[in-house]
Amino acid sequence: MSPRLFLQVLSLEARNRLSYRAEFWLNALVGFGVEFAVVYFLWSSMFRESGKQEIGGFDLQGMVTYYLAVILLGKLVRTQRFEGGVSTDIYEGGLNRYLVFPAGYFPFKYAQHLGGLVPAVVQFLLFALVVAFFLDVPPELRPSPTSALMALAAIAVANLLYYLLDYAIQLVAFWADNVWSLDVAKWFVASLLGGFMVPLSVFPAWLVPWLEALPFRFFFDFPARVLLGQIEPAEWARGLVVALAWCGVLALVGRGVWRRGVEQYAGVGI
């Protein structure tokens, strides 16, 4: 696919999404507030009940900051569901058009996905401003320009990795009547083992090598820690290489699944 086509698909999708009404933005803001409040009260009471000063290497303020980072960057990593998703294309026959066009399906969908991310980027910046002005972030966790740049790369890779995982799972629609349960399972595993539900340092020590061997930590834990300046440049570079290798693996899996699936696609919906 030519870069021009890629950019055009991306910008069309972005324009389309940005035309949402004000209530969309209001909902996002309220959602963010609620999510954050839940985490805040949950962890305050955990710290109070347990009487501990530190859990998984964070004190209460640090823990809250970690969640702020994860919730914010999670918006840039997670795939936002929309009509033109891969499984919908398969179920409703929207795939047909892409099979007739002389353009690849994956790049087309990825461009759409990135275009759909534009409102999320706006949200991210908006909320980041709110956080910077109104909330009290401990000085040692404040992002420096360097850590912000490093985090940008980590988030971009996390986004690609997450999309590739999502894509491979959505393709199961070629065989299954419904991929909803797989989707839920994916989110559960990714958020638990990826550092969205709890920081990975909270898990018992013997589990940590396992978690580090899996790709999930690159979704949330890794970019959040990079953003909070907890990761040295050397470790950051190593992490990116490993994450990109995982991207390669998932891309190969996705390609294999696609080839098999499209071979027995019945072209429904006409």
Partner 1 sequence: MIQVHKLSKAFTVHKKDPGLLGSVRSLFRREQVVKQAVREVSLSIEEGEIVGLIGANGAGKTTLIKMLAGIIVPSAGEATVLGHVPWKRDDRFRQQIALIMGQKAQLWWDLPAADCFLLLKEIYRLPEAQYRETLDYLTEVLGVREQLNIQIRRLSLGERMKMELLAALLHSPRVVFLDEPTIGLDLTAQRAIREFILQYREQHRPAMLVTSHYMEDIQRLCERILIIREGELIYDGSLRQVMEKFATHKRITVHLRPDKPVPELSAELRALGEVLQRDAELVKVEVPRADVPAASAKLLQELPAADLVIDELDIGTVIERILSQRAEVPASELPASEPSAS
Residues lying near partner 1 in the complex (CB under 8 A): 2, 4-5, 8-9, 12, 16, 84, 93, 96-97, 99-103, 263-267, 269-270
Q: At its nearest, how many Å lie between partner 1 and the CB of residue 213?
A: 35
Q: At its nearest, how many Å lie between partner 1 and the CB of residue 26?
A: 22
Q: Is 48 exposed, middle or buried (0-12, 13-18, 19+ CB in 10 A)?
A: exposed
16 binds, among partner 1, ligand ATP, none (CB under 5 to 8 A by kind): partner 1
**Cα distance between residue 113 and residue 162, in whole Å:** 11
**Cα distance between residue 230 and residue 6, in whole Å:** 35
- As given in the structure block, the two tokens for residue 149 are 């740049």
Going by C-alpha positions, the residue among 62, 70, 60, 59 that lies closest to residue 36 is 70
Name the residue with the smallest CB distance to ligand ATP: 266
100 binds, among partner 1, ligand ATP, none (CB under 5 to 8 A by kind): partner 1
What are the φ and ψ backbone dihedral angles of 58, each rounded to 5 degrees? -115, 140
**Cα distance between residue 264 and residue 257, in whole Å:** 11
201 binds, among ligand ATP, partner 1, none (CB under 5 to 8 A by kind): none
CA distances in angstroms from 47 to 39, 50, 56, 166, listed in the order given: 12, 5, 12, 35
* Cβ-based nearer residue to ligand ATP, 53 or 264: 264
Write each residue from 231 to 270 as x if it is in contact with ligand ATP (CB under 6 A), else as -, in one continuous string.
-----------------------------------x-x--
46 binds ligand ATP (CB under 6 A): no
In the block, tokens 């991306």 appear at 10
* Cβ-based nearer residue to partner 1, 10 or 231: 10
Question: Which SS3 state, helix, strand or coil, does residue 55 take?
Answer: strand
By the 8 A CB rule, do 186 and 165 touch?
yes
Amino acid at 247: C
* Cβ-based nearer residue to ligand ATP, 46 or 99: 99
Q: At its nearest, how many Å lie between partner 1 and the CB of residue 257?
A: 16
* Cβ-based nearer residue to partner 1, 116 or 143: 116
* Cβ-based nearer residue to ligand ATP, 174 or 222: 174
Q: At its nearest, how many Å lie between ligand ATP and the CB of residue 268?
A: 5
Q: How many CB atoms lie within 10 A of CB 104?
A: 13
Question: Which SS3 state, helix, strand or coil, does residue 19 take?
Answer: coil
Using CB under 6 A, count the residues that bind ligand ATP. Answer: 2
Going by C-alpha positions, the residue among 128, 144, 149 that lies closest to residue 240 is 149
Q: At its nearest, how many Å lie between partner 1 and the CB of residue 117?
A: 17
DSSP state of 175: T
* Cβ-based nearer residue to ligand ATP, 184 or 268: 268
* Cβ-based nearer residue to partner 1, 202 or 262: 262
33 binds, among partner 1, ligand ATP, none (CB under 5 to 8 A by kind): none
User: What is the contact surface with ligand ATP in residues (CB under 6 A)?
Assistant: 266, 268
